[in-house]
């Protein structure tokens, strides 16, 4: 398709399908009522009783040689039955597990200084911590634990041209009230995967001080209402050639809150918010405050009907394209800094905005060094879009705005 370029100083308007420019009033959005994402509204884990159990009393060795799966499972089962705190003691060597550890309700684990290690198997995806999708588990806490595998399997499909472990850290389905704090994961296939099966939607999940390193997809969440993550780092392994994301937030998700979180090294989007036909509802009502995205192909990617998304104080560094927005509505994005764009043969520029209804993007600072395409590309059906306070530097031979010639644009406000 052809494009219309709008430079910083001169506005050129050419008739397209529908093109209305409005420099007077902003798009009308009221997020004070729509956005209710608040981590303080998420139910807290009740916590364990005063009783404490020690995994070594059940035969766990933590010597890097013994298979500790059965001992740890027995310890988890008894601590759950008694709603007791299970301590997995610090150990110089890892606790080896060869099968997934199954969580049920009232499971509380403290593992400061302890490492659980699972070796990968070719062509088999395995989980370290798992819940039975036929049951609803509740009141779960995991603190201080390290989950580790090895990236030594040649990846296929989305993981092609990368080395993976085929081991997932945590895979829960149907969990109500979960707390994860001070947890480290290294070299896992998916770090935390939470999904819905049947009617068991996930609720009340709080994560803090999580660090995931060298992992194909650090978190993948669907079917969840009420989720918060703060003070965390999600590092992909920067190896896949297709769309892997540092955070993949899928359909039937609502009321999410992220603050002071890094999303890095993704071969797809640092943050990707997207439903698809397998989900009844698109992702909605998500807040991101003071987060950072580094060295990913796309910084933020919205599609498949994502709505009611609020982003403030975001830094995007080393990404080919800052924002890729397609089929989304009720977006509020402000105080964004984009810099150090990296070359890519497909996605590039500051913003690519396609098929968007009711969006407000303001207070954007772009260092266009190394950037190709335009700072802002408009495609498809655009209605009620406000763009305000765009500041750019190092702009060389690229326009501020480009508009696809077949775009249908109604009520575009530029200030």
Q: What is the mean pLDDT of the chain?
A: 88
Band (pLDDT 50/70/90 cuts) for residue 9 is very low
- Average pLDDT for 345-373: 91
- Average pLDDT for 18-23: 42
Evaluate if residue 22 carries a pLDDT over 70.
no
Q: Report how far residue 324's alpha carbon sits from residue 297's, in angstroms, rounded to the nearest whole number.
A: 10
- Average pLDDT for 217-242: 88
Q: Give the per-residue pLDDT at 156.
A: 80
Q: Report how far residue 296's alpha carbon sits from residue 211's, in angstroms, rounded to the nearest whole number.
A: 17
Q: What percent of the chain has pLDDT over 70?
A: 90
Q: What is the DSSP string of 184-234?
A: EEES-SEEEEEE-BTTB-EEEEEEES-EEEEESEEEEE-SEEEEEEEEEEE
Q: Give the per-residue pLDDT at 16.
A: 35
Q: Give the per-residue pLDDT at 36.
A: 61
Evaluate if residue 162 carries a pLDDT over 60.
yes
Q: Are 55 and 88 in contact (CB under 8 A)?
A: yes
Q: Report how far residue 331's alpha carbon sits from residue 325's, in angstroms, rounded to the nearest whole number.
A: 10
Nearest to 183 by CA among 237, 149, 232: 232
Q: Give the per-residue pLDDT at 60.
A: 98
Q: Give the per-residue pLDDT at 338.
A: 96
Q: Give the per-residue pLDDT at 33.
A: 47
Q: Give the per-residue pLDDT at 26.
A: 43
Evaluate if residue 218 carries a pLDDT over 90.
yes
Q: Report how far residue 352's alpha carbon sits from residue 203's, in angstroms, rounded to the nearest whole number.
A: 33
Band (pLDDT 50/70/90 cuts) for residue 56 is very high
- The length of the chain is 415
Band (pLDDT 50/70/90 cuts) for residue 17 is very low
Q: Are 383 and 353 in contact (CB under 8 A)?
A: no
- Average pLDDT for 167-191: 96
User: Using one digit for the tens of pLDDT, what is the confidence trace for 28-52?
Assistant: 555 544 556 788 889 999 988 899 9
- The mean-pLDDT minimum among 37-46, 128-137, 229-238, 331-340 falls in 37-46
Nearest to 115 by CA among 98, 96, 131: 96
- The mean-pLDDT minimum among 57-71, 309-323, 363-377 falls in 363-377
The DSSP letter of residue 155 is: P
Q: Are 262 and 288 in contact (CB under 8 A)?
A: no
CATH code reported for the domain at 44-258+270-281? 2.160.20.10
- Average pLDDT for 349-375: 92
Q: Give the per-residue pLDDT at 6.
A: 44
Evaluate if residue 21 carries a pLDDT over 50.
no
User: Using one digit for the tens of pLDDT, what is the confidence trace for 187-213?
Assistant: 999 999 999 877 778 999 999 999 999
37 vs 154, more confident: 154
User: Using one digit for the tens of pLDDT, what is the confidence trace for 277-317?
Assistant: 889 999 999 999 999 999 999 999 999 999 999 999 999 99
User: Using one digit for the tens of pLDDT, what is the confidence trace for 82-102?
Assistant: 999 999 999 999 999 999 999
Q: Give the per-residue pLDDT at 32.
A: 47
Alpha-carbon distances, residue 375 vs 67, 77, 340 (angstroms): 55, 55, 13
Collapsed DSSP state (helix, strand, coil) of residue 58: helix
- The mean-pLDDT minimum among 118-127, 153-162, 235-244 falls in 235-244
Q: Give the per-residue pLDDT at 240.
A: 52
Q: Report how far residue 157's alpha carbon sits from residue 163's, in angstroms, rounded to the nearest whole number.
A: 12
Angle at 137 between CA 146 and CA 37, to 5 degrees: 80
Band (pLDDT 50/70/90 cuts) for residue 259 is very high
Handedness of CA 62, 68, 71, 73 (dihedral sign): positive
Collapsed DSSP state (helix, strand, coil) of residue 66: coil
Three-state SS letters, 313-332: EEEEECCCEEEEEEEEEEEE
């Amino acid at each position: 398709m052809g494009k219309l370029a709008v430079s910083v100083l001169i506005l050129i308007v050419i008739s397209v399908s529908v093109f209305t420019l409005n420099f007077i009033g902003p798009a009308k959005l009221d997020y004070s009522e729509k956005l209710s994402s608040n981590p303080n509204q998420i139910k807290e884990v009740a916590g364990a009783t005063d009783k404490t159990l020690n995994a070594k009393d059940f035969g766990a060795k933590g010597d890097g040689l013994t298979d500790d799966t059965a001992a740890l499972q027995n310890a988890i089962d008894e601590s759950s039955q008694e709603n007791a705190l299970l301590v997995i003691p610090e150990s110089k060597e890892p606790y080896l597990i060869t099968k997934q550890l199954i969580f049920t309700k009232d499971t509380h684990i403290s593992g400061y200084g302890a490492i659980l290690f699972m070796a990968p198997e070719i062509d088999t995806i395995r989980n370290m911590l798992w819940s039975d999708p036929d049951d609803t588990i509740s009141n779960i806490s995991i603190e201080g634990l390290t989950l580790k595998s090895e990236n030594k399997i040649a990846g296929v499909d989305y993981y092609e041209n990368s080395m993976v472990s085929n081991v997932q850290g945590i895979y829960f389905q149907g969990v109500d009230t979960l707390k994860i704090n001070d947890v480290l994961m290294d070299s896992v296939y998916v770090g935390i995967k939470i999904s819905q099966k049947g009617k068991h939607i996930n609720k009340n999940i709080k994560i803090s001080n999580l660090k995931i390193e060298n992992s194909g997809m650090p978190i993948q969440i669907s079917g969840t209402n009420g989720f918060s993550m703060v003070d965390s780092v999600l590092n992909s392994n920067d190896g896949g050639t297709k769309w892997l994301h540092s955070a993949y937030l899928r359909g039937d998700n609502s009321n999410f809150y992220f603050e002071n979180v890094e999303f890095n090294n993704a071969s797809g989007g640092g943050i990707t918010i997207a439903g698809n036909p397998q989900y009844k509802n698109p992702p909605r009502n998500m807040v991101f405050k003071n987060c950072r995205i580094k060295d990913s192909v796309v910084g933020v990617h919205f599609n498949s009907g994502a709505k009611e998304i609020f982003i403030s104080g975001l830094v995007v560094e080393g990404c080919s394209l800052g924002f890729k927005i397609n089929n989304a509505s009720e977006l509020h994005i402000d105080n964004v800094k984009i810099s150090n764009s990296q070359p890519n043969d497909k996605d590039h520029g500051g913003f690519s905005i396609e098929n968007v209804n009711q969006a407000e993007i303001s207070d954007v600072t772009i260092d266009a060094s190394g950037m190709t395409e335009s700072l802002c590309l408009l495609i498809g059906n655009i209605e009620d879009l406000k763009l305000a306070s765009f500041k750019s530097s190092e702009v060389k031979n690229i326009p501020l705005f480009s508009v696809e010639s077949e775009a249908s644009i109604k009520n575009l406000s530029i200030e």
